[in-house]
A and B are shown apart, each in its own frame.
Chain A
Amino acid sequence: MNPTNYLYLSAILFSIGAVGVVVRKNAIVVFMCIELMLNAANLAFVTFAKINGNLEGQVMAFFTMVVAACEVVVGLAIIVTIFRSRRSASVDDASLLSR
């Protein structure tokens, strides 16, 4: 089976994640959509590893996973902090920078 199919899947998942980031209001759900985008990128890396015949794509995917984990940790901590002071987890409520 052509590994390119995995690439198509990766593109579609990435797009869905992008829509989710823009459309959803709950900060945690937005975060989850970002995770979806990262996963899609990982899939693409691994597929390319297979296509090219060396493991460098997998190494990249490995690093991406580690970084994503760190990012999730810090990001959720921030969300919790904001939630504590504002009592709201909605992304729209943090709009003090508007005109």
Chain B
Amino acid sequence: MTGEAALFWVLAPLAVLAAVAMLYMKKAVHSAILLAWVMITLAIFYIALEAPFLGIVQIVVYTGAVMMLFLFILMLVGVDSSDSLVEKIRGLRSVAIFTVLAFSLTLIAFIARAELGRPSVGLEEANREGNVQGLAQYLFSDYVWAFEVISALLITAALGAMVLAHSEKSEVARTSQRARSIARFRGKSIATAAGLPGSGVYARHNALDLPALLPDGKPSDLSIAEVLHRRGDVAESKSYELEGLPKIDDQGNK
């Protein structure tokens, strides 16, 4: 049992397990971590396969940059948001699993039947001057055209990301103070002239996301910033209400 074999037989099942577990995680962040595990395992395998450059690049680029990018986006989109694992589309899961089982079995059958006719050569000869030099030899002679195109692709991708992620300024121009003042006094009711209620008024907490309470105990939407409404981050105020507030119904009767 060579070292490489031992390495393989220990790490490979773990990688497979991690990959399978990735499918079952409710929280997306957990899936990301498991994927990072798989990638690091693959980096180790690359090094074992006499591709040290690629192994390091795998860690630096893939695990380092790409997975970090994933985590950033997860953050933006909602770290808390959990995926319901209930399948809405009927039959999709079973058909998918069956198909993929067949797919993997076919692939394994292919690999098993493949006959090379010679033992594997190994990369000693190719790596004589060093793996990096060997790669550079290929990159800058046979594949220089692809190399240049890829660099153009990288630039384009960066530009594309900038354009897509760019958020437009709001069409509504920021109103001047004079305009706001006029709007305050000429609004729907004179109540707006006094200014909107601050958050947490009559509630025992003045967090920005806790709504103020109206005289009848209902939370006032006006007291929370628009952004928080949009994000759905308005907190529940029931537990912070004062007791003994009179209950007034819609007609304004006690």
Contacts and interface: CB of A to CB of B under 8 A. Distances in A.
Contacts of B87: 23
Using C-beta atoms within 8 Å of the partner chain, give the interface range for chain A.
Answer: 35 or more
B74 to A, nearest CB: 6
Interface of A: 1-9, 11-20, 22-26, 28-29, 31-33, 35-36, 39, 42-43, 46-47, 49-56, 58-59, 61-63, 65-74, 76-81, 83-84, 89-90, 92
For chain B, what secondary structure do more than half of its interface residues adopt (helix, strand, loop), or is it mixed? helix
Given A28-B77, A62-B135, A73 B62 contact: no
Counting chain B CB atoms within 10 Å of each CB, the highest count among A55, A59, A73 belongs to A55
B169 to A, nearest CB: 14
B92 A67 contact: no
A43 B119 CA distance: 19
Interface stretch (B96-104, B179-187, B203-211, B233-241): B96-104
Using C-beta atoms within 8 Å of the partner chain, give the interface range for chain B.
Answer: 35 or more
Contacts of A31: 70
A31 to B, nearest CB: 7
Contacts of A55: 123, 126-127, 131, 134-135, 137-138
Contacts of A32: 22, 31-32, 35, 70
A76 B70 contact: yes
Nearest to A59: B138
A11 B15 CA distance: 13
Interface string B104-126: 10011001001010001111011
A70 B154 contact: yes
